Amino acid sequence: MALSDHIPNNVDLSADRKLMKGLTRWQPAYLEWWRDMGPSGFDEDLIWLRTAVSVNAKGWAHYDHVRMKDYRWGIFLSAPAPEEKILFGDHAGGSLWNEVPGEYRGMLRRLIVTQADTEPASVEQQRQLGSAAPSLYDLRNLLQVNVEEGRHLWAMVHLLHQYFGKDGREEAETLLLRRSGNPDRPRILSTFNQRTDDWLSFFMFTTFTDRDGKYQLSSLTNSAFSPLARATRFMLTEEAFHLFVGESGVDRVLRRSAAMTRKDPNGEASRHGAINLETVQRYLNFWYSSCLDLFGAEISGNAADYFASSLKSRHREDRYSEHQLLDQEYSIEHMLEGSLQTQEVPMRCAMNEVLRDEYIRDCERVVKRWNATIASFGLTFRLQLPHRRFNRVQGIHAGQCYSPEGAPMDPDTFDTRRHDWLPSSRERASIQELMRPIYTPGEFASWIAAPQKGIKGRAPDFEYVRFADPHHPAA
Ligand code: BYC
Ligand code: FE
Ligand code: FE
């Protein structure tokens, strides 16, 4: 079978011999990486997966029970919008680019490689989770997220191969060599080297880290480099499901937590096989603060250059009326000479912070919905997002100590309170204790409620995973 049959695509792959040749070489290395670093233990099993087969509004998603090794990772670009012009930055009003301008080659490559690197990283972080899945429904959702992150890597590797020549092909190879959490060859961005080996972390990751993905991708959908804009537009359609997995996952955890908190005379859900609400808050604090770092420095020359060069815009740039941002300023509050002060910086230099603002507003909406769930159980406990300065390791607040409310503190006081705010290794171990697989259709682990409905019209007790061997080692 020709490679183009193995790789569903709408980029006329079979007509481009050079691209075909490059990807034919890269594909075996990818499959080897998937075997070594992808989901562990489900190679022979039939998983009810959605596969992207075209970008048409009607027919892009196809559902079937498939083996992950037979999954067909495809390359899709959203259709070009006729007459579309560059929307923002110094090139606003000009025609979109179908080739990489020489002067922006380095910047564009860096953006694409950074985006690409997160995709396999997340798959590596989630590699062991299947063996502790709280249900077949959740197992299927995990594996769906994993194959789609694999496809996102394909999307970026396609750009590297088609538009960046030899260095692009080298970067594509290196993407399969870095490893999440490896001290010698770590993944590029901080959060993608964190451990995600329990399901509460997974649901926080898909809520907060995939949400960074949504905002970063959204800011690339207006790129003047049209192939990047069209690739990220299609990736965003898949991202919506990852965010659903995260938000609904935490919501179901909260339902069990809240019910068991009510039941226990001392309000300790953990005595009934559920997770304490305070623990959920500490996991939230950890993942959310780590994800704020993913937006980069508050005051960033890189960010200004990306905007000026019409490579990376704001979220929903089309909703703004002014797309140059030359004479505007942005005020940032941070520690200057020992006290919190407000500094005015040129707007273009604050583009990372502007995107972080949009992200924070979105996270606030999510927490509001979670709190409505807790309130519906008659409890007064409420989750809260910590302040943007809390627990940061990148940017102007890095290495300083602030309470979750944003008040400056001395490092010793912070240390004594650390485990009021962030999970301790003991707390992590207690969550790990709960992680036991449930592989009977329609059954769910004690720490998570069943979903209200299943996937694509199927019931929650549908057989989302059919084990090849009924005595599955993990079952
Ligand atoms: N960790 O001026 P700055 C997703 C580096 S998630 C480590 O702020 P810039 C997904 C920075 O690289 C979306 N290093 O940089 C989710 C730079 O290094 P060099 C991923 C960091 O460029 C779930 C230096 O600090 N996509 O898709 O303005 C599952 C100076 O910083 C970090 C993208 O991020 C950090 N957190 O901003 C699967 C889009 N932050 O070059 C997938 C592409 C900063 O000086 N990337 N640094 O050595 C970008 O747009 C930008 O690179 C960043 C950083 C927003 C990340
Ligand atoms: Fe992704
Ligand atoms: Fe994602």
- SS3 for the chain, per residue? CCHHHHCCECCCHHHCHHHHHHHHHHHHHHHHHHHHHCCCCCCCCEEEEEEECCCCCCCCEEEEEECHHHCCCCECCCCCCCCCECCCCCCCCCECECCCCHHHHHHHHHHHHHHHHHHHHHHHHCCCHHHHCCCHHHHHHHHHHHHHHHHHHHHHHHHHHHHCHHHHHHHHHHHCCCCCCCCCCCCCCHHHHCCCCCHHHHHHHHHHHHHHHHHHHHHHCCCCEHHHHHHHHHHHHHHHHHHHHHHHHHHHHHHHHHHHHHHCCCCCHHHHCCCCHHHHHHHHHHHHHHHHHCCCCCCCHHHHHHHHCCCCCCCCHHHCCCCCCCCCEEEEEEEECCEEEEEEEEHHHHHHHHHHHHHHHHHHHHHHHHHHHHHCCCCCCCCCCCCCCCCCCCCCCCCCCECCCCCECCHHHHHHHHHHHCCCHHHHHHHHHHCCCCCCCCCCCCCCCCCCCCCCCCCCCCCCEECCCCCCCCC
The phi-psi region of residue 332 (left if phi > 0; otherwise alpha if psi is between -120 and 50; otherwise beta) is: beta
Domain 3-257+294-356+394-400+411-416+438-466 = CATH 1.10.620.20: yes
* Ligand 1 near 297 CB (within 6 A): yes
Q: What is the pLDDT of residue 72?
A: 85
- Counting ligands in written order, the one closest to the CA of 190 is 1
Q: In what order do the strands lie in the sheet with 46-52?
A: 61-66, 46-52, 465-466
Phi, psi of 433 (to 5 degrees): -55, -35
Nearest residue CA, atom 10 of ligand 1?
213
Structure tokens at 135: 């249900």
d(CA 461, CA 475): 17
* Ligand 1 near 189 CB (within 6 A): yes
- Counting ligands in written order, the one closest to the CA of 299 is 1
- Counting ligands in written order, the one closest to the CA of 289 is 1
C-alpha distances in angstroms, 147 versus 73, 211, 231, 288? 8, 18, 17, 24
Whole-number Å distance, alpha carbon 18 to ligand 1 midpoint, is: 31
Ligand 1 pocket test, pick from 188, 220, 302 with the greatest ligand atom count within 8 Å of Cβ, gives 302
* Ligand 1 near 293 CB (within 6 A): yes
Q: What is the pLDDT of residue 471?
A: 61
Q: What is the pLDDT of residue 473?
A: 56
* Ligand 1 near 210 CB (within 6 A): yes
Which amino acid makes up residue 447? W
* Ligand 1 near 324 CB (within 6 A): no
Q: What's the rounded mean pLDDT across residues 95-123?
A: 98
Which amino acid makes up residue 355? L
pLDDT tens digits, one per residue of 5-58: 678 888 989 899 999 999 999 999 999 999 999 999 998 999 999 988 777 766
* Ligand 1 near 162 CB (within 6 A): no
- Counting ligands in written order, the one closest to the CA of 121 is 1
d(CA 235, CA 218): 10
Whole-number Å distance, alpha carbon 294 to ligand 1 midpoint, is: 6
Q: Name residue 329's beta-bridge partners.
A: 346
Q: What's the rounded mean pLDDT across residues 243-263?
A: 98
pTM of the predicted model, to two decimals?
0.97
User: In this structure, are strands 339-346 and 329-336 parallel, antiparallel, or unpaired?
Assistant: antiparallel
Straight-line distance from the first to the last Cα atom of the chain, in angstroms, rounded to the nearest whole number: 36
Whether the CB-CB separation of 269 and 261 falls below 8 Å is answered with yes
* Ligand 1 near 149 CB (within 6 A): yes
pLDDT tens digits, one per residue of 335-381: 999 999 999 999 999 999 999 999 999 999 999 999 999 999 999 99
Domain residue ranges in the chain: 3-257+294-356+394-400+411-416+438-466
Looking at the chain, the whole-number percentage of residues with pLDDT higher than 70 is 97
Is it the case that residue 268 has pLDDT exceeding 90? Answer: yes
Q: What's the rounded mean pLDDT across residues 46-74?
A: 84
Whether the CB-CB separation of 332 and 353 falls below 8 Å is answered with yes
Q: What is the pLDDT of residue 70?
A: 84
pLDDT tens digits, one per residue of 419-437: 999 999 999 999 999 999 9
Nearest residue CA, atom 27 of ligand 1?
213
Nearest residue CA, atom 53 of ligand 1?
296
pLDDT tens digits, one per residue of 304-329: 999 999 999 999 999 999 999 999 99
Whole-number Å distance, alpha carbon 275 to ligand 1 midpoint, is: 33
Nearest residue CA, atom 5 of ligand 1?
296
* Ligand 1 near 114 CB (within 6 A): yes
pLDDT tens digits, one per residue of 434-447: 999 999 999 999 99
